[in-house]
Amino acid sequence: MTVFRLSPLDADDPSWKYSVEKSHVWAGALTPAAARDLVAAKTGFFKLMEQGAVSPWKDERVTSCVEEPTMNYPDAGEVIREDGSRVEH
């Protein structure tokens, strides 16, 4: 398992209406794609989405996803905010 940091690149993109989190988050996942999927799911996308919608967390133009090799938290399947609190929407 690896920890990935996902960060906004384009805060003005309209896709942000599909996420309740709009700041840096960290995810425990096996791959960058899995981290993006996890963050999209944990930030309310499935509650907020409309037909044809794409989560900003899954769009490489809107968010970055980089490995954090020195971190060992969060655990696999978890997403946390900068203050360490868990993301569960």
One digit per residue, the tens of pLDDT, for the chain of length 89 reads 899 999 999 999 999 998 999 999 999 999 999 999 999 999 988 777 778 889 999 999 999 999 999 998 899 999 999 999 999 88
Q: How many CB atoms lie within 10 A of CB 12?
A: 7
Dihedral angle at the C-alpha atoms of 38, 23, 61, 9, nearest 10 degrees?
-150
- Domain range summary for the chain, segments of one domain joined by +: 2-81
- Per-residue pLDDT, 81: 96
Strands 2-8, 79-81: pairing is unpaired
